[in-house]
Chain A
Amino acid sequence: MNTLLIDTHADFIFLAIYQNQEIKYKKESKEKKDHSTICMPLLIELLSESKLNINQIDDIIVVNGPGSFTGVRIGVTIAKIIAYTMNIPIRTITSLELYLNELTKDYQYIALEEKNGFYVGNLINNQIKNYEYIKRNEWEKWNKNKKIFLCQNINYNNICSFAKQKKPINPHLVNPFYVKKIEAEK
């Protein structure tokens, strides 16, 4: 069973193929170039190094945000088109869920920092509920008296088994999870 993971939510790109829920091959790019110029070439490299044809991929996990709007759209578009055309299962996990493995003691919230603020989620029974976005200038007031886990390092090793607990989604309905509203909608 070959599971393809696509993560484009941040300023790096991480792609991996899991076999028996363990990372077998991986590719990472930290180049400061547009994701669009890197992501698909990186996928081709990953497939060729793993000596797999795209048709040998059995299912897909895609990180659908929150994070860079354009970055997430690139990963999600590639993932849902592959899943739709090959008719294989696709699952999404959020960028904050990537960090759940690192969670050590009792926290109430999990927070992912970005340029102008923080994506936060409420931790209930080790699950993330109620995502919201807190602007940097409101952060200090917001985080008072809260036990917050700040996301730092991703350990991709357990991501496959974590994602597999979720149900696959119809590729038509796989979409970015932006959390942030856009200016015109406010």
Chain B
Amino acid sequence: MEENYIKHQYAPILPEKDEWPVVKLARERKEFVKKVATLSEGRILDLIGKNPEILKEELETTLYREKLRIKQNPWDVDPDDEGPFWGEVKNNLLQIHSEVSGTKAKKLEAYQAVLRKITARYSEEIASNFKASHYKFTRRVVTYGFSRLLNAARVKGFGSLFSNQFTLQDKIQITGQTAQLRELATKGTVVMVPTHFSNLDSVLIGWIISVLGMPPFIYGAGLNLFNISIFAYFMNALGAYKVDRRKKNMMYLETLKTYSKEAIQFGCHSLFFPGGTRSRSGIIESKLKLGLLSTAIEAQRANFENGITDVSGKIFIVPVTINYHFVLEAPGLIQDYLSQTGQERYYKENDEFSTSYKISKFLFKFFTKGSDISVSIGRAMDVMGNYVDQDGKSLDKWGRIVNTQEYFMSNGKVTVDAQREEEYTQMLGKRIVEEFHKINRVFSSHLVAFVAFELIQSKNAKMDLFDLIRLPQEDLLLNYEEFKAACQRVLNQIFELKSQGKIDSAPHLNRSMDEIITHGLDNVGMYHAKRPIIKDKSGNLTTEDMSLLYFYHNRLHGYGLEKLF
């Protein structure tokens, strides 16, 4: 019954690397950074209505926050000249305050000069340092290194280290609309929006993109990752630009958005993790960070405004889910989540710290043992959430062709309306969440974790989550037969949902229920010191870590399956 996953060899879609928009962008980096700075400046001026008093206030706020950040939260990656730079900004502001008098226009001009300096600095900071040669090298290292590990573990005998029998694609299955994605990437600009559960996602997605033969995507990576120099090398090689989450001031955010928008307009395929950070609870993102998403809509509108109405100016949103049996940092994530939601009711018991030793140990285990990963590529949509066909044409629910430009028109012209686009961003966010749920692939491990947690909860109906987590282990025993029956109920419902196109499932779920359960138990959180579910000697089930069980259970949240208990 089990369908076989077919490995594909994807030829590069744009063979010459000089043709990649991301390479072009790197070549024109200097001019691009300058352009971003100037546009950001204009954008901020528009936002404050060119009022010198408000601009002054914004500048002072930014200055205050930046000084505070430098003092209270310095990072290795911060440049040395930060202190002097902001000191100079301070002097400039004081000078304007005491010396420039008279007309509004004069004041505005003086403050604008300070603003210009700041946006120039920010855009330089954000811009990526992509180098095609580094990219190629990194790609080779990753692919080569991983497949050596894999073959060393699986192929017996002499020379296994040099065998090419297994490749990374055996571990990481790519399913879904790969052909469409490749096709559209040659026609327009792709914005990929994956779910985010693990720090490995960035590397994984980078690898997927190159396996699919596509040019590198640019994406915003947290500046904290650049603290570690080896990571910084990888990130730069993959075309990452830097997002500093400590900087919440308006000027920084506007510069960041301008950068993203301009890069998309430039034709660079982009990638956002729309959840913002990794999902702390293990739930598929349901509330998206809309900031960067809005830049896709803006870029689309700008293309229409500039008269690029053919497919080359079209932006395609491609949702992607990454499905794991195992999330390396799950213990830390769920603890974060519990301490945020439970506040003083939740006490951390131990602090598990992820070291590079742990990461390498995990990687070794990952390649030598079971536990596969699958990546589902969803159907591409236009920025309004309409599906698009192979040629990039948008289709409505009835299959009629929709002209996306018309969403941005009033009285026969493309118009700019920030409030309208805000609403559109919300709509797009909702559509992406819907698609995530549809393409989410259920694994055996998700099923067993979900059923185990729900059963325990239904046996202790009066307790809330925090009471449940503190239950002693002897209260957590589940009878195998009862568990099996419940698994079957949930699985039936999953198949029902699947037939309606509301969820996807991995092929191993077509095995017999006993096999599915064994597979699930073997895989769920398999490398954690404390396992979320284990079988005891008498064949019954129990958990060693209730909060981890909760984490893995959450993957099936949002389908109404809880009603079965």
- Indicate, yes or no, whether A interacts with B: no
Residues of B near any A CB (own CB < 8 A): none
